[in-house]
A and B are shown apart, each in its own frame.
Chain A
Amino acid sequence: MTKTPNDIRRRLLGALAAAPLLGPAMARAQPQPARPAARAIPSSGETIPLVGLGSWITFNVGDDRAARDASTEVMRAFFQAGGRLIDSSPMYGSAQDVIGYGLKKLGRPADLFAADKVWISGSGEGRAQMERSRRLWDIPRFDLMQVHNLLSWQTHLPTLFSMKAAGQLRYVGITTSHGRRHDELEKIMASRPLDFVQLTYNLVDREAEQRLLPLARERGIAVIVNRPFQQGALLDRLGRRPLPPWAAEIDCTSWAQFALKFIISHPAVTCAIPATTRVDHVRENLGAAAGRLPDQAMRARMAALVARL
């Protein structure tokens, strides 16, 4: 793969994280939090950080200026903490527009990895919808375009592959959530040259472990994980108990990090995409991609604990 200026910049940023090598004065002036670890997209070898950013509900704030600015601050903190992948869909109300607003205000961060979806029936309609989405984000092209919830995938996948071949997008994917239509998804994963698949996987919704995650590894398909916190419900439940002391062994300081580390430590997972309206939460979430990750034994311990709660 050829190196883009982005790759080079990321490497420099990575080197910056190795602050002790720099002069002590400079390290003190610019305290850098640890950068999130990254994993390779199997089809290209390009790496992306293990934690991204969702936008369902959280970024659908309409034309409310104050709320748009607040969303922008979440994005600013996301990029500052080393985040790259933002996920949206035309199904998310004004979220795409709000992302476009934020990106413009942030001076179009070069690190952005833009992931959107096509959610409509019909090939022509699909192309028109993707073009509308691109204008809303106000970017030259999407990095990743996914078929939302398998809707009209037979129609859209050929379009997406031809757009990829023409350089109009970089990766092709397909999404589902809540464990829906896994059988059909499995067939598509087995038969089409997908770059990405997006599905629900978390401490309690673990059906994907059975077939989809192993298949993704086998077929070299990157995996984006949605609903890492069950839209917040999981954290509400876990939050009533104290975090176990042994969570410190994997550098967890909160239940959110506990939940995320469980997901991203699965070897098939490329990136989890929690959504948030809060700057402190986005930092905490990216923090889950830094530090130690659980091994097999620890993952089993984590799942067992949550199953008991």
Chain B
Amino acid sequence: MEDFFEKLSMFTNFIWPLLLLAGAYLVGSIIEKKHFQSIRKREDGLHGIPVVSFDTMPEDWRVSSSDMVTGSIVISLDYFKRVIAGLRGLIGGRIKTYEPLLERARREALLRMTESAREQGYDAIFNVRLETSRLANAGRDGKGTAGVEMLAFGTAVKLASRIG
């Protein structure tokens, strides 16, 4: 019976957080892998639409119509990334577990923007900008992070004649 108590406290203190961590890692890395696969596939499909960050339109573009297009994604951290980043926060350095997360967010936002431009029949996007904001968690006095939003926006144009 004392065994039972020891096992119980052992479980709540060590095994449960480890299980949670392992579970979050497994599920999180599967989702991440799938997401990257989907991103690469869709990038291949959109291949050829110019998406540039010039703030003025290249002079040789002859434009018949234009509109603003946006693409945005809200993406959350998993428990594993959060814990590892928390440990990293003690000593500093690259938060390597966050880098793929933000990379996914950037490429996904750009993809959504480009897909929306193509759906509306536009041929190119210029003056493309990216913005990030952190979504605060309602709990813990807003100290926690629920996720990040990545917003991509730009001016989509329909080219009357595409030179070059």
Q: Do A and B come from one complex?
A: no
